[in-house]
Every structure is written in C-alpha cells, then in structure tokens.
Structure 1
Amino acid sequence: MGSRSQPGTLKYCTCVKCQGAWISRYSFYKHKEKLTESLLSSPTPSFEYPESSFNAPEFTQPLFEGSSTSVLEAVTKHLYVFSVNHGMSKTALSDSLMCEKSSLPQPNHLPSSYKEARTLVAPLLMPLQKYDVCINDCVIFRDSGEYEYANLNECPQCLEPRKENGKSRKMFTYMPIGPRLSRWFGTENLCKLIYEKTLTVSRSENNEVIRDFTDSEQFQSWFKAGQVFENLGKNSCVPLSLFTDGVNPTEIHQPAKNPCGQ
C-alpha cells in the first residue's frame, strides 16, 4: 500500500485492485483498512462435522421390513464395488442397483440408480470447491486477502480470456484439507484408528524390512532437537500425504528426464 501524496485530495494506492493509481483519500484508507483486516484475521478456520449426520432416518432405516441391513450400509457396499472397479461405469452401477432392488422383498428403500444413490449420500461426502483458472495456469480466479481475481474476465498476467463461448476454458477442483481432517476426528472409529496408529518401529525382528515410512530412521530424526518436529509428540502427527503420488520427502530429486514428466 503506497503512501505518496499528490497535491489535493488524492493518495497513491498500490494495492492489488488499484495497482498504482491516484485515488481519493477516502478510498485509500478504505483499501488500507480492508488489507489490515485480512492480515489480522485468523488463518485457522473452524470446521464442524457432527457424526450424528450418519444417524439420520433416511440412512438408518432398514433396507426393507425385517432387514438387519440399513439403507446406508447397502448403498455403501454398491459404491465401494463401484470405486474399486475402475472400469465400472455409472450405467453398470445403475443396472446392479436396479437388479438387486427388483430381487429384494417389496417395497424396499434401495436406490434404483447411480444418480439416486449419489443424491442420497451427498450430505456425507467431502465438499468440493471448483475454481476457474487461467488457461496457462498463471492464476486462480478467486479472491483472497492479497488478490481479487474472482470477477476478472481475463488473466492479469498473460491476458488470456477466462472464458470461451461463455464457458470456462479451464477449471480446478479443490478438496479442502480442513473438512477432511474434521471428518477424521469427528468420526469416532476413524479417530481411534488415527490415534492407534502409533508411530513406533514396526520393522521385522531383524530390522531389515520397513513396513511404513514412519519406521525409517529419516522420519525418526525429524523429532530430534533442531529438526522439523522438535518438541512435538509423534502421536500428534497426522498423515497429510493423502494427495501426493511419487513423492520421496527424503531425497532431493533431479529434474525429470522422461517425456511424461514423471
């Protein structure tokens, strides 16, 4: 935020919105106030996830009269099969649901299609955020404490248009880590699994086999004095590497040489 003055009532503002322009004193101090508020705001959001969501009547009701299987349990089994069979189409899942629904005692509450099953469990799924991004990956069209890009029609860096024929040229789907962690610790069984996964050595008796990254000497060294996790308990660590693939945190990689960039 600049503070140069010009004769009269104008002030020189260098915020992201003005980018070096003479504006009124009133606008200048409003921009300054907004920037200060964004810097002082808490960076730690609160995410609530009541486990009671799973106990809603539409989930806990029996699949049919006299059944010991709930609707949620039955749908989860189908969605699990769909998830682990990567070649299975949504149409195939719909056919499977319809076939079982017709063979179960009537009436029953099993969804008859993928769309119905997806709609049923939607309140329990991870919230996703979709953003328009520059076709050249320069920026994400969203507002933050530092940038205001949400309403731009072109990239502020390469000037490429945001949309083409009224449609976004490129989009980015983001799965926030906050809600994911809140579900881990807000769901009793998952929370137990996290805390029961003590970060102790689980090698074989001859110490030749490492069954988990947390067994390695490199990881153990991070908790020593002067290291990354100094004075932090190992049971407080949360495995945040869910969305990484092919990453070796203990090695400095050379630039990729194969044509796929792997």
Structure 2
Amino acid sequence: MARIALITGGTRGIGAAIARSLKASGCNAAAVYHGNAEKAEAFRRETGIPVFQWDVADFAACAAGLKSAEQYLGGPVEILVNNAGITRDALLHKMTPQQWSEVIATDLTSCFNMCRLSIGAMRERGFGRIINIASINGQKGQFGQTNYSAAKAGVLGFTKALALESAAKGITVNAVAPGYVATDMVAAVPREALARIEAQIPVGRLGQAGEIARLVQFLAADESGFITGATFSINGGQYMI
C-alpha cells in the first residue's frame, strides 16, 4: 500500500518539489495551500496531486481540513511534511505585533496544529514520518528577521522534543534547515542583497528546490527509521554546525 503523505505549503517552491518527489517515490501525496488558489489549481492540473485549502495557523481549520483530506486519500496521514511558512521582515524596533504573531503562527504554531492532529493515528498504527522544514536563519539568526528566526529556531526544539516522545511508537521526527533556495520567497529579496547572500555561499549558487525534496524523500522512507531528532543543514556550506 502506498504511504499517505501530506505537505503543507505544498503547491509552490520547496513544498511543490517535495510533493512531486513523494508522489514519484510511490506515495499517495496531497498538498495544502492557503492563499493562491490559481497557482494551486495549476499545480493540481499539472501534477495530478490533490490540493486542499486551509490556514495551517488555525487549529480548527486544520482539524476540518485534515479530516476532509484523509477521507479523500482513504486513510490517516503517515508522512507529514510541515513546510508552510511566511516572512514579515522588519527590524525589531519597527516590528509590529501583527508582523510578529503572523510569522510565529504560520511558521511555528502550524507545526503544533498539524502534528497534534496527526500524531494520534501514527501512534495507533506504529508508524509515522514527520519532517519539519526549518531554515538556516533559525540556526544562525538573520538581520531583520527576529520573528522568522525565532519561529524556525522553535521548529528545531519542537522537532527534538517530539522525536523523544514518539521514537518508541515507530514515528521519526526530523528537521531540514535549507539555506537560500531559488524560490519565489527568495526572489523577493532585493537584487543587491541577494548578490551579497550568494557571495557568502561556498558552492557559489542558490540551492534548488529539488535538492531539498530529495532529502525529504529520504527521511520519509520506511528504511529511514533509525534517524530521528536530527536537523539536516542543506545550505551549500554557508553555515556549518
């Protein structure tokens, strides 16, 4: 039987590459999106991967959405990829409470929402793969991103604690911390700033979404059951820990 996989933020950028990769590996994959219905529908038509719309920052919306997705997919989620994320950049002394709370809710609280609603079925079945997409900026910090860096650092701690709780039940929980990847989010960075970033990457280029997806596919596999609580840095050598 194909494993059922759900990817949040799964219709664009890194999430879309992950959804494609998991489908190609034989999973019954589905993607969650929030705002851009036009791009989500184009993704569905192109890939044949079903898409579902809800706000991952809203627990009730996650509960209703997950129920609908699992009914459509024919069973509970076995592979959960928490990829949804936003930025609301500002220096802290200019950051609004809304900019702070929106990023924390979408980038960190969403991991609680989706894992809390999925973990019970994984524990009952004795199998689960949870992969949380963090960021290099949650490891090293970033100017103008106290909200984003805090959220992504929180994802790393969340991952380790949930891995400890879940290991005896056959559930692995790992984090992937990408560096700068050629996506729409990075494309929004001013050209001069992006050039400075690229100059700091030892391999001399931005990452590709497919490179992140291949790592996630590996961690999602049945054969990766001895890997849990780990953070995988994939950043071209920009930050080594």
| TM-score, reference length from structure 2 | 0.23
| TM-score, reference length from structure 1 | 0.22
* Larger proportion of strand: 2
* Larger proportion of helix: 2
Larger RCO: 1 or 2 (CA < 8 Å, sep 6+): 2
Q: Highest CA radius of gyration, 1 or 2?
A: 1
